[in-house]
Amino acid sequence: MKHGVVVVLFQATAAHLQNVFHLRKLCPSVVAVDNSTAADMTIHTALRSSGVDVIWNRNDGGIAGAFNRGFDALIQQGCNTVFLFDQDSQVDQQYFASMLQACADIDSELYMLGPKVFDVNVKRYLPAHNVQRFSLVPVPVDTTDHGVLRCSCLISSGTVLSAATYQRLGPFDEGYFIDQVDTEYCFRANCRNVPIYINTSVTLLHELSKRTERKFLGRSITQWNMPPARQYYSARNCFLITRMYGMRFPLMTLINIITLQQIISILFFEQRKIQKLLSLAAGLFDGLFKRKGPFDQRWPSLARYCAAHSASAPHPSFGKDVHA
């Protein structure tokens, strides 16, 4: 079983590079897909010197495009098993051995397998579920090792896919660009009889946006801290997934609770409320009419307005989540 790693970079820091170097020590084939709009040749040279292949993708197709470029490169190298990572995800020395053994134990060449994910910002494991037509059954994700369990959805970082799965499902949908790209792919797998598993013996430390926990009406609520363009993608893509898979899985409409939570977060806890709410509304509008593509191409005037009033240097259409 020849395996490889796709790690997606965006304006990588020294800490991010150390993560990539660590992955290279653990895996013989690593492709770093740089989604930065301007290439830092110092970073590219350092990566290549350590044995990492580098593709400068210029954010073409967003995170989905980066996955596709990296996956295609590793398949050309003869890899039949591919891991996906964000630049800030951290793994231990046993990660690949444990995940590959779990892959070998699956009696099929079609599969997606992910670790349990510990969100370092809110200090808890991400939940997992089995979604049926009219039921939503939690999968036990805690400090206990429950072995390999079936589930319906994974986040992309840390997930391993067989090349046969990628060939069966096709490329990631670049029209989604970012946010819910992995969710759409998982439900595509559910519809095409590709099983999805979570390996509860393995933990991935991951930063799922810059979110924090706040109190609202006596209850805990997530403060998301996403820039305006990410609000656009999140709201639009949640709505698109509902429209695409809601007939087969009616409970997928619950994914839009994320959007409701984000509205509460913006109204009560975040700055730049006007830009974020306008972007979120634009996302809902495009989701209603099944429109995809980059925010700054769909809504150029709004994107310019948000960029002009941004407190952060990077263009908000790209990269990881940042504080408001």
Structure tokens of 24?
């290279």
What is the per-residue pLDDT for 311? 57
Domain ends where: 206, 235, 258? 206
**Closest of 283, 54, 104, 82 to residue 185, by C-alpha:** 82
Say how many domains are in the chain. 2
Report d(CA 291, CA 285) in Å as an integer: 9
Same domain (yes/no): 194, 221: no
Q: CB of 226 within 8 A of CB of 233? A: no
102 and 224 part of one domain: no
98-114 pLDDT per residue, tens: 999 999 999 999 999 99
- Asked if the structure places residue 319 within a domain, the reply is no
49 pLDDT above the threshold of 50: yes
pLDDT of 58 reads: 95
Q: Is residue 317 part of a domain?
A: no
Domain of residue 292: give its range.
213-308
The model's pLDDT over 115-128, given as tens digits with 9 standing for 90+, comes to 999 998 888 999 99
pTM: 0.92
Q: Once rounded to an integer, what is the mean pLDDT over residues 299-319?
A: 70
Instruction: Judge whether residue 313 has pLDDT over 90.
Output: no
Q: Are 283 and 239 in contact (CB under 8 A)?
A: yes
CATH code (residue 178):
3.90.550.10
Whether residues 10 and 111 fall in one domain: yes
Over 80: is that where the pLDDT of 209 sits? no
Residue 57's pLDDT band, with cuts at 50, 70 and 90, is very high
Q: How far apart are the first and last CA of the chain?
A: 43
- Flag whether 146 is in a domain: yes
Q: What percent of the chain has pLDDT over 70?
A: 96
pLDDT of residue 212: 85
For residues 93 and 26, the answer to whether their CB atoms sit within 8 Å is: yes
Residues 104 and 249 in one domain: no
* pLDDT at position 81 over 60: yes
* Mean pLDDT to the nearest integer, 52-63: 97
**What average pLDDT is seen over the chain?**
92
Contact 188, 169 (CB under 8 A): yes
58 & 73 share domain: yes
Nearest to 286 by CA among 179, 172, 183, 171: 179
pLDDT exceeds cutoff 50 at 319:
no
Q: Cite the beta strand spans of 229-310 per DSSP E.
A: none
**CB 247 within 8 Å of CB 201:** no
Whole-angstrom distance, CA of residue 7 vs CA of residue 9: 7
Residue 315 has a pLDDT of 36
Predicted pLDDT at 227 = 93
Residues 27 and 43 placed together within one structural domain of the fold? yes
What's the pLDDT score for residue 224?
A: 87
* Beta bridge mates, 222: 213
Query: Same structural domain for residues 144 and 286?
Result: no
Residue 211 has pLDDT above 50, yes or no: yes
Which pLDDT tens digit goes with each residue over 248-295? 999 989 999 999 999 999 999 999 999 999 999 999 999 999 999 999
Give tens-digit pLDDT for 129-155.
Answer: 999 988 999 999 999 999 999 999 999
Q: Are residues 227 and 294 in the same domain?
A: yes
